[in-house]
Structure 1
Amino acid sequence: MNVFNANSADLAWRQAADAIVRRHGADEVESRNGRAVELVHACVTVTNPRARWIASRLPAMNIALAIAEVAQIVAAGDDVPFLEHWFPKYGEYVGSRDKAAGAYGTRLRVRWGFDQIARAAESLAARGESRQVVLSIWDPRTDLPEANGCPRSGDVPCNVLSCLRLVGGRLHWLQTVRSNDLFRGLPNNIVQFTCLQEIIAGWIGADVGQYSHTISSLHAYVKSLSEFHIDPEVPAVGESFDIRLPRSDAEVAWTNLYRLAQELVAQTNDRPSLPSFATATDLGPLQPMYWILVAENARRRGWQAQSQEAVQMCHDRTLVTMWHRWIRRFDARHAHS
């Protein structure tokens, strides 16, 4: 097992990225998407899951997409056009322009006829010592390959299950992943599941414990090694705001965040506009996430002044740092055009 352990996701990711780029214990293998440099069996452990953002990847990760993905997971959504607004190529990655067959929120909250997230929280609140709280994403009926080895879907989930343990008042999370792209998948997956860890911790009145992300195949495609890089000079980003809320408050806040994000996507007016501060008052600790979404929505519509104003409404310095790293991608692009 290749183990990469750090206080923050960024530092742990740097360790894993260095191992693959320098081929320390990694082999070059064939895959259906081209040759890849692969570590078989890897574990990325983050002791402070609120320090979930990976700032060392160049080009910088799309922070608004990561936030939108979390909002859709909590909302049990599988809508591809919603995520394409934040990342226009999203449909290419899931093989659909309509619904994502492997959407994590749908799998976790409705697929099996009941809400796994709610059941997990209820079980841990009733018997915190339980070692049976496991969230299942993988569905062998639709996800196992055909007998000839061909995939049965264009969107087979990479994350397959989550094991939750409550120890000493802290919720520990073990995520099991069949396959992770070092550059494209891993950064967003860590954001998604550490957010779920913190959400459930809030529901049961616990704090967050260790987050471990275990991967059967951690890899980078050879063609990506010239596209992505590790920035060894970037200062480590801090932890984001505490987003824990009691369950009833959390359900309201996340429902409102997803609704407001959908309203941003559905905007049809061509005149620059910015939501009022009062729009976000019911979001509680999720307000900073909302203002990042507002800023990215405005940027994509060419409303630069409104985009900058929205970022100023975000008081989470870690999110603001990630935002500025994201938009520097476009500043650099224009500087070389």
Structure 2
Amino acid sequence: MIVLTANSASELFTAACQAVLLNGHVARPRTLTTTEVVGAHLCLTNPRRRLVDVPPARVINPAFAVAEALWILSGSDDPWIFDYNENLRRYADDGVLRGAYGPRLRRWGGRIDEFDAVIDQLDAVRRQLHADRDSRRAVIQLYDPSRDHRGYRDVPCTLGYRFFIRHGRLVMHTSMRSQDLWLGFPYDIFTTTLIQELLAGWLGVELGEYHHHVDSLHLYAENAEAAAASLNGTPGSAELDPVEVPWPDFDTLLQRVISGLVQPADGSTWHAFGRTLASYRAWKAGERDQARALAADTPGPLSDALSSWYDHLTPALMGDPR
């Protein structure tokens, strides 16, 4: 069991890499070699420092971080997410990621007595905590045995989220059965802390600590060397601007951001999200100068993160094997 606390996602990431490399044991699920720690509790004290950035060893694609977060928050399992991460296609069945979190978060289907029911779990916990500030029932469930034992390629790693208002602050706990530290953690913590911050805003409370509980925290063998190299990097601690939107306007704003229609008046962070997606779409279309210009014009830390990602991609485009 490891317990780690840090003030930024980057610091938490490097501390976790070190802990897994030092304390982990070999496990080979599905014949894939990993170094694994069973039982990890990672605490982020400032959830707005959600961007993992440890150059040059670990530079993430901020456009995918933003896109995945919006994809989940909007309740979607639509294939547009593949535009930001082609590797996800390998986990799809019939072109659909069957373990997509969005529909489970915003459109959980089931039966209540003799009636079919669709539940927006995000709204449910919002209303629960409005009604009872000390509630212990603000739970979002993502793992669904009725779907996840059917042999699909994509099975959720996240079991669920829990929220508590204590001392005027919203504290969030995430439980995961499995966490790929190198590839998954940087993107998962971006989404979960964004959910936490939005919910805190809807409830009119301060943003508290974020807790990430993992049963199997692991590094795949092909990422172990890079994880070791990340320990020599300088972890970034950039803090994103506050993100807020009234609950009644939330879904409309999400669609505007995803569609590229967001405006600066919608708030600096939402505007930055829209610019980030637009920049990456330009990059994918081969419009490199336009992509970099949009990145430079993106408000806040996502600007530098995009530029770093494009610098990371450029050697491969030039034939450099790095």
Structure 2 residue ranges without an equivalent (≥5): 110-117
Distance in 1 separating the partners of 2:253 and 2:298:
16
State the 1:332 CA deviation: 3.1
For residues 53-88 of structure 1, give each alpha carbon's deviation from its aligned partner in whole angstroms, at most 9, with x where no partner exists.
Answer: 111263421111111011111110002x31111111
Partner in structure 2 of residue 47 of structure 1: 45
Change (3 A) 1:97 1:59: farther
**Partner of 1:32: helix, strand, or coil?**
helix
CA RMSD of aligned residues (A): 1.9
State the 1:335 CA deviation: 6.9
Change (3 A) 1:258 1:33: farther
Taking every aligned residue pair, what percent have the same amino acid on both sides? 27
Partner in structure 2 of residue 322 of structure 1: 305
Q: Which stretches of structure 1, 4 residues or longer, exceed 3 Å deviation after superposition?
A: 226-229
Distance in 1 separating the partners of 2:226 and 2:168:
42
- Indicate the larger mover: 325-334 or 44-53: 325-334
For residues 201-229 of structure 1, give each alpha carbon's deviation from its aligned partner in whole angstroms, at most 9, with x where no partner exists.
Answer: 11111221100110000001112224654
Change (3 A) 1:298 1:25: same
Partner in structure 2 of residue 298 of structure 1: 282
CA contact (8 A) 2:262 2:274 kept: no
Q: Does 1:241 align with 2:241?
A: yes
2:250 maps to a residue whose letter is A
* Pairing 1:81-120 to 2, within 5 Å after superposition: 81-92=79-90, 94-96=91-93, 98-112=95-109, 113-120=118-125
> What TM-score do you get using the length of structure 2 for normalisation?
0.90
State the 1:97 CA deviation: 5.5
Aligned pair count reads 309
Partner in structure 2 of residue 221 of structure 1: 220
> What TM-score do you get using the length of structure 1 for normalisation?
0.86
State the 1:89 CA deviation: 1.6
2:82 maps to a residue whose letter is E
* Pairing 1:187-202 to 2, within 5 Å after superposition: 187-202=186-201
**Partner of 2:315: helix, strand, or coil?**
helix
1:283 maps to a residue whose letter is D
For residues 148-196 of structure 1, give each alpha carbon's deviation from its aligned partner in whole angstroms, at most 9, with x where no partner exists.
Answer: xxx7211110001111001122111000000010111111110111111
State the 1:25 CA deviation: 1.9
Distance in 2 separating the partners of 1:47 and 1:64:
24
**Partner of 1:238: helix, strand, or coil?**
coil
Distance in 2 separating the partners of 1:97 and 1:202:
38
* Pairing 1:145-156 to 2, within 5 Å after superposition: 152-156=151-155
State the 1:235 CA deviation: 4.7
CA contact (8 A) 1:7 1:47 kept: yes
